[in-house]
Structure 1
Amino acid sequence: MDVKELWQIGLPMFINVVMSVVAFFTTMKLIPKFKNTFIKAHLFGIDMNKRTSEKIPESLGVLSGCIFLITLFLFIPVPFGSRFFNGEIPHDEFVELLSALLSICCMTLLGFADDVLDLRWRHKLFLPTIASLPLLMVYYVNFNSTTIIVPKPLREWLGLTVNLGILYYIFMGLLAIFCTNAINILAGINGLEVGQSLVISSSLIIFNIIELSGNQWKAHRFSLFFLVPYTATSLALFWYNWYPSLVFVGDTFCYYSGMTFAVVGILGHFSKTTLLFFIPQIFNFLYSIPQLFHLVPCPRHRLPKLDSKLDKLNISTTTFKYNDLSFLGKLIVNIFRIFRIIKWQEKDGYVITNNFTLINLVLLITGPMHEARLTIFLLIIQIICTVMAFIIRYPLAYIFYDI
């Protein structure tokens, strides 16, 4: 990397970091000021895992999201330097930036609409697909690279590379849907939504910094432009969302967070690597499938239950008749029983099991736990999985791909 390239990375990144620091302190200052405004607008909830029934302002993620977006709006001229004012704009980079902002704005709007209107799940799955279309169109126009490298053991049959064509675009669209919903599914205790997102964003920042020395440094610089202010504003939100939560982040935060990760993964050309940092979310989604698709009865809330005497959380349960399950439902619960990842209790012809979430599984294994400790435990799992992701991405990728 020559001096010019170092300057093109260094100066915009310095400005981005400075603006992110300002965004952090702005978010820290504004959240307490807007708490009562949200409560007056009937955007509040009761913390079901607390002994009190105090009103907690809901959907404060929209505030951190707006500051995050405003920071990026103000940052738009910076990466292009003097070229922006001289009319010498690299249109491909400019369109990438605008399409990324458009997709994140769309998901912020969807998240806030969900917090206010309580949208159905089919809408939550459909709308991220629409919001990801600007990304996929820009990717098609600017790159249209749908070729993947085949792992060594399969090269004898498939060759060195395989062109997936439209399947690759379907994968990227599904990535956007998964990212926007995965954080929302693994949620429900103080600090968990923002905490896991901070671990993921920090992991992606480290990955992009490592990759800046390569030939694709522009793509990784682009990703950092989004991840640094996102992390700064989320860190401020985390301060108020940590136990005991003074604010709830709402679906707004989960959706724009997921879309931000999808944006940097798709336009930064590391969509497959992005998934590596979602290992706990992937496990939680697979574990939750029986209830998400109603193969097993799914209550409205799958949050752990509070033992008010001990001030600890315990597993929440669902009740059903075994014979009422479909063949597939019976097969899955029997597999879960074999691997002992669900509680199984039969009483008066009914079966009582824990709800199928990673949070309940941890409580099933460890026993009742204080809420703050449980959040820390789950974030440690996220960090351990991040270390595993880096091992898969570098030492193992070198063995299987020579990269």
Structure 2
Amino acid sequence: MWSIVILLILSILAYVVTDELIPKLKDLFIKAGLYGIDLCKSNNKKIPEAIGVVSGCIFLVTSFIFIPIAFGNGLMERELFPHNEFAELLAALLSICCMLLLGFADDVLDLKWRYKLLLPTVASLPLLVVYYVNFNSTTFVIPIPLRQWLGSSINIGLLYYVYMGMLAVFCTNAINILAGINGLEVGQSVIIALSIIIFDIIELRGDQFKAHMFSLYIMTPYLATTLALLKHNWYPSKVFVGDTFCYVSGMTFAVVGILSHFSKTVLLFFLPQVINFLYSVPQLFRIIPCPRHRLPKYNAEMDLLEPSRTLIVKKEMTIINKALVQVLTILHLIDTIEDSESITINNMTLINFTLIKLGPMSEGTLTAKLLIFQCVCTLIAFLIRYPMASYFYDT
């Protein structure tokens, strides 16, 4: 366990370095044209963009420094060197590094949405290759109530690799979709990282000790650098994290979920992101018009955020459009304003939905409420993972 102590020391140093480096690099990003204007503020101050690349780089450097410490015993006795575990860690860091590079390219070039789906798929390839070489386990355990029809387990073969690739795509984009207000992207990532670390600590007593140690090796420095980034991104934000941070975070969570064999548990920790994705599907797939930005609307007079809206012209509505809007209205999932020629509805994100149900509020309050919801969902995830799981699985 001495390696964990050293990892904690390195992570604390990573926090300090990230915290010190971000303010010093802010002007450099602005001079390079990497800045934005906070649309939820009344001022037009330039705020550096894509600062997630700083925390991402420090996270990777810390992980690289830790490699000889994690495998110190193996380096001393080469015949006992754990080649498989070493390959897993290198593949994990390679995938994260690829996502850092591709995410920064997205921030600089402002790539189209179709590329946002392709990039995580490409970056996950080293991960999937190592999984195939070391494990190649493509079997799902069937819940107890379904075993009389499907058996105790089912091997889905290639579809399992498709599932893992889709997991990487979902994790990277789910954080990016639930974003747009100060501190939300980084805040939700901190809570998910803490949830995974708590889960790892609980499971260290089980038979998957090495897998959860591997997860801790990655999540601990990630959490440290992300906490430093949160300090500067919290309301009122001094920096914007950019797509770089969302991509690195999503790939990091996907990496530990896949290689530590608890991808379904990781998805449980993504419950708010899953809800937000499902709620956003009509706009993401253009069934309902989707503007480029679905940020909440800033009311300068009241200094509060209100739900943003999108316009649907009645003449252009298909039968599917009409039926969907009607169902969502009946279920009170959208707020509609209708006249003779058009229907105006709120943009379908969890952020706007919160504003509809709880009313206009300040940006800092809105972020806090959404992060409280993330914490509540984490408690639900642990409830599902432990007490409830015994009803569906043998352990």
CA–CA separation in structure 2 for the residues paired with 1:46 and 1:244: 13
- How far apart, in 2, do the equivalents of 1:382 and 1:392 lie? 15
- Runs of 5+ consecutive residues of structure 1 not aligned to the other structure: 1-9
In 1: Cα distance, 2:319 partner to 2:69 partner: 58
The one-letter amino acid of 1:184's match is N
Instruction: Confirm or deny that 1:95 pairs with 2:87.
Output: yes
Structure 2 SS opposite 1:77: helix
| 76 and 326 in structure 1: CA distance in 2 versus 1, 3 angstrom threshold | farther
Segments of structure 2 that go 5 or more residues without pairing to the other structure are none
| TM-score (norm: length of structure 2) | 0.98
CA contact (8 A) 2:312 2:344 kept: yes
CA contact (8 A) 1:129 1:177 kept: yes
Letter in 2 for 1:142: N
How far the C-alpha of 1:144 sits from its partner, in A, is 1.0
SS, match of residue 71 in structure 2: helix
CA distance in 1 between counterparts of 2:285 and 2:2 reads 49
Secondary structure of the residue that 2:39 maps to in structure 1?
A: coil
**1:41 is the counterpart of 2:42:** no
Partner of 1:254: 246
Are positions 1:124 and 2:127 aligned together?
no
Q: Distance in 2 between matches of 1:193 and 1:171?
A: 24
Q: Please state how far the C-alpha of 1:323 moved relative to its aligned partner.
A: 4.1
1:227-276 alpha-carbon deviations (Å, 9 max, x no partner) = 01000000000000000000000000000000000000000000111100
Match of 1:151 in 2: 143
Distance in structure 1 (CA, Å) of the matches to 2:300 and 2:2: 54
**Structure 2 counterpart SS, 1:345:** strand
SS at match of 1:402: coil
Q: Which residue type is aligned with residue 31 of structure 1?
A: I
Q: Deviations over 1:363-385 (max 9, x none)?
A: 00011011000000000000000
Matches within 5 A, 1:173-322: 173-322=165-314
Q: 1:53 aligns with which of 30, 44, 48?
A: 44
Displacement of 1:86 in angstroms is 4.0
Amino acid at match of 1:14: V
- The count of residues paired between Structure 1 and Structure 2 equals 394
8 Å contact 2:297–2:306 — kept in the other structure? yes
Q: Secondary structure at the match of 1:145?
A: coil
- Give the Å deviation of 1:310: 1.1
Matched, 1:373 2:365: yes
Structure 2 partner of 1:168: 160
Cα deviation 1:292-314 (Å, max 9, x = unaligned):
11111111111001111111000
> Which secondary structure does the structure 2 equivalent of 1:45 belong to?
strand
SS of match in other structure, 1:306: strand
Code of the residue aligned with 1:180 in structure 2: it is T
**Identical residues among aligned pairs (%):** 61
* Structure 1 Cα separation of the partners of residues 317 and 109 of structure 2: 31
SS at match of 1:280: helix
The correspondence for 1:30, drawn from 21, 28, 31, is: 21
SS of structure 1 residue aligned to 2:282:
helix
Q: Per the alignment, in what secondary structure is the counterpart of residue 392 of structure 2?
A: helix
Distance in 2 (CA, whole Å) between partners of 1:327 and 1:260 is: 42
Match of 2:41, SS? Answer: coil
**Contact kept in structure 2, 1:320 and 1:351, CA below 8 Å:** yes
Residue 5 of structure 2 corresponds to: 14
Matched, 1:66 2:57: yes
TM-score (norm 1): 0.96
> Which residue in the other structure is 1:5 paired with?
none
Q: Which amino acid aligns with 2:148?
A: E
Match in the other structure for 1:110: 102
2:23 partner letter: P
Deviates more, 1:23-32 or 1:316-325: 316-325
Partner of 1:83: 74
1:290, 1:329 within 8 Å by CA — same for their partners in 2? no
**1:329-386, CA deviations, whole angstroms, 9 ceiling, x for partnerless residues?**
3333222112111011113401100000000000000110110000000000000000
Amino acid at match of 1:90: P
Q: Name 1:3's counterpart in structure 2.
A: none
Whole-Å Cα distance in 2 between the matches of residues 213 and 154 of structure 1?
Answer: 29
Cα distance, 1:163 vs structure 2: 1.2
Q: Give the 3-state SS of the residue equivalent to 2:180 in structure 1.
A: coil
- State the secondary structure of the residue aligned to 2:236: coil
**C-alpha root-mean-square deviation of aligned residues, in Å?**
1.0
